[in-house]
Amino acid sequence: MNNFAQVANFNGKTPKIDPNNAAMLLIDHQSGLFQTVKDMPMTELRANAITLAKIASLAKIPVITTASVPQGPNGPLIPEIHEAAPHAQYVARKGEINAWDNPEFVAAVEKTGRKQLIIAGTITSVCMAFPSIAAVNAGYQVFAVIDASGTYSKMAQEITLARIVQAGVVPMDTASVCSEVQQTWNRPDAAQWAEAYSAVFPHYQLLIESYIKAQAVVNNHEQLDSQRK
């Protein structure tokens, strides 16, 4: 499908994530549901979901999690999400497939006071799409993180993308969310952001390591030159 050029507009402008006005909803990242994912490697999906939790902690973005019948075959939430975002609030559902149909979940979102929502969920076509569309209808700006979701086929992913874009949801990938939230490398926690990126781009870790080694060599040469003087 090549019909994804249409992008949702708000007041005539494509929205941009404002870390001070955004909340993150990580929905149904459950061990059982991960077994059904076929549109991307499950290990990448897991790493991307955890990365979102990490950058939410770094940027002090509220995080709300929930699970679909975790006591059943869908399995429990992967523990790394709450480990990466200790401030995350978990909302138990009473069987609702669409998290937005759960009043406690909606109340938790409203309590954040944020008007932008970064949403990822497994399965993409259900657990991510349904609450994303409902949140747009409720007046929120919604950014759906496709590669931190995951579904049972590439076709299901493409159909879902077409549907959510038509509904006004902005699709993004994990790296673009990280960059838009981070905003600048000129910050005291830059090294922690670089570490978060390395989970999305494993080869980026090699780049960081080579830079650190090269910088150490430069610093050592400068120190030797200073001693000779």
User: Could you report the per-residue pLDDT of 81-128, keeping only the tens digit for each?
Assistant: 999 999 999 999 999 999 999 999 999 999 999 999 999 999 999 999
Please indicate whether residue 127 is annotated as part of the active site: yes
- Residue ranges of the chain whose pLDDT lies below 70: 1-14, 203-229
The residue annotated as part of the active site, out of 33, 53, 117, 127, is 127
Domain made up of 22-182: CATH architecture? 3-Layer(aba) Sandwich (3.40)
Strand partners for 77: 30
For residue 198, the model assigns a pLDDT of: 80
Look at residue 152 in the predicted model and tell me its pLDDT. Answer: 95
Which of 193, 222, 219 has the alpha carbon at shortest distance from 208? Answer: 193
Distance set, CA 68 to CA 65, 94, 97, 113, 227 (Å): 11, 8, 7, 25, 64
**Residue type (1 letter), 112:** T
Two tokens at 188? 């005291």
What percentage of the chain carries pLDDT values higher than 90? 75
Start-end ranges of CATH 3.40.50.850 in the chain? Answer: 22-182
Inter-residue contact 104 to 91 (CB < 8 Å): yes
* pTM, two decimal places: 0.86
Between strands 141-145 and 116-121, the pairing is parallel
